[in-house]
Amino acid sequence: MARYEVIKQKGCDFMRITIGEKTVIATNSDHAREIIKGYEQSLTEGDLIISHFLIDGVEAVDIDDYLNGKASQEIENITIIVKTLKELATEAIDSFLDYIPSLQEGISDAREKLTIGEPFSQSNWLPIIEGLDWTSQLLNNFSTLIGNENERMLDLATRWQKQLVEMLSAWEAGDTVLLADILEYEFLEILDELQTFFQQYQAVKTEH
């Protein structure tokens, strides 16, 4: 992981942008944005990606939201956090493996209530839907991080997306039996396979 700092002196009209050992003076927020975007584009040729920014110590994903805002004149320090593809993949896997038990528990609870005909409120569904969607995004992004040549990863991602479509159809049809089956026999099964896949992937990467 690398850190690059953009330091704006409070009350001044310029920013001092430090990228590695190189320092550039930006005359205003627009100029600073151009410099940062130019640096971001240069990273596409290598193995580094801008992970996020620290705006006066506060984590942010989109720098434009701050540079375009009225409070941009109050920004004193911007730090660009740059990571390798391997670092990003490792962090994503760690987060997912930590989250899987919670998602499995939520899915199992929903499946049980649907099976016995017990009401399952929208507020209870929300974290499950968010978890399923987050997993979908992770699988799509991870294919980019590790390369599309991993057939096992592509198969799991395809199956996951297919079940999301099936689940939506069952939801719209009000078919709680099918919905419960999809949760139990599809999503929970795929989550078990994903857990094994990522654990094995991490073990191999650790060995290398």
208 Cβ partners below 8 Å, 6+ apart?
Answer: none
Q: Does the structure show a pLDDT above 90 at 11? A: no
pLDDT digits (tens, 9 = 90+) for 33-63: 887 888 878 776 667 888 888 777 788 877 7
Domain final residue pick, 26, 47, 75 = 75
Question: What are the start-end ranges of the H helices in 147-175?
Answer: 151-173
Residue 56 domain boundaries: 2-75
109 & 165 share domain: yes
Identify the CA nearest to 16 among candidates 38, 31, 1, 37: 31
Identify the CA nearest to 145 among candidates 192, 206, 198: 198
- In contact, 30 and 15? CB cutoff 8 Å: no
Identify the CA nearest to 4 among candidates 74, 51, 64, 46: 51
Distance linking the first and last C-alpha atoms of the chain? 18
User: Tell me, what CATH number does 128's domain have?
Assistant: 1.20.120
Query: Is 82 contained in some domain?
Result: no
Report d(CA 78, CA 59) in Å as an integer.
Answer: 10
Residues of the chain with pLDDT > 70, as a percent, come to 79
Q: What is the pLDDT of residue 7?
A: 59
Amino acid identity for residue 1 in this structure: M
Q: How many domains does the chain have?
A: 2
Domain final residue pick, 45, 75, 105 = 75
Report d(CA 86, CA 144) in Å as an integer.
Answer: 11
70 & 128 share domain: no
Q: What is the pLDDT of residue 84?
A: 83
- In contact, 32 and 39? CB cutoff 8 Å: no
Phi, psi angles (nearest 5°) of residue 204: -65, -45
Across the chain, mean pLDDT equals 82
DSSP string, 41-70: HHGGGSSEEEEEEEETTEEES-HHHHHSSG
pLDDT digits (tens, 9 = 90+) for 157-178: 999 999 999 999 999 998 999 9
pLDDT digits (tens, 9 = 90+) for 178-208: 999 999 999 999 999 999 999 988 887 666 5
Query: Is 22 contained in some domain?
Result: yes
Q: How far is CA 39 from CA 52, 87, 94, 159, in A?
A: 14, 19, 28, 37
Q: What is the pLDDT of residue 69?
A: 66
